[in-house]
Amino acid sequence: MITRVLGMLILFDIALMVAASFAIFLWELQRESALDVARTAGMETIVFCELFYLFNVRYFTTHAFHIETLRGDPTVMKVVRF
C-alpha cells in the first residue's frame, strides 16, 4: 500500500525527472540544436532517470550504491541490457 509519505516521494521523483528532461531540452535548444535533437535528448534524460530510479528504489533503508544492487536480481540486469 502506498502511504502518504511514499506517495509524496514518488511525486517528488517524477517532478525531478520532468524538470531534468525539460532542462536538457531547453539547453539543447539554446545550443541551437535541431528540434529533433532536443527532443531526443529530453527523452534520453527520462530513460536514464528511470534507470537510476529502478536501481535506487529497490532499497528503502539503505543506499543503492553497492555491488548487491547489481547482483540482486538477474531479471533487472536482463531488462537493462541493450
Average pLDDT, consecutive stretches of 10 residues, N- to C-terminus, the chain (82 residues): 88 94 96 94 93 75 65 69 62
Q: SS3 sequence, 27-47? A: HHHHCCCCHHHHHHHHHHHHH
Q: What angle do CA 10, 12, 18 make, to 5 degrees?
A: 105
The three-class DSSP label of residue 63 is coil
Q: What pLDDT was estimated at residue 65?
A: 65
Q: By the 8 A CB rule, do 21 and 49 touch?
A: yes
Q: What pLDDT was estimated at residue 11?
A: 93
Q: In the 8-state DSSP scheme, what is residue 1?
A: -
Q: What pLDDT was estimated at residue 74?
A: 72
Contacting residues for 57 by C-beta, under 8 A, at least 6 apart: 64
Q: What pLDDT was estimated at residue 17?
A: 94
Q: What pLDDT was estimated at residue 34?
A: 94
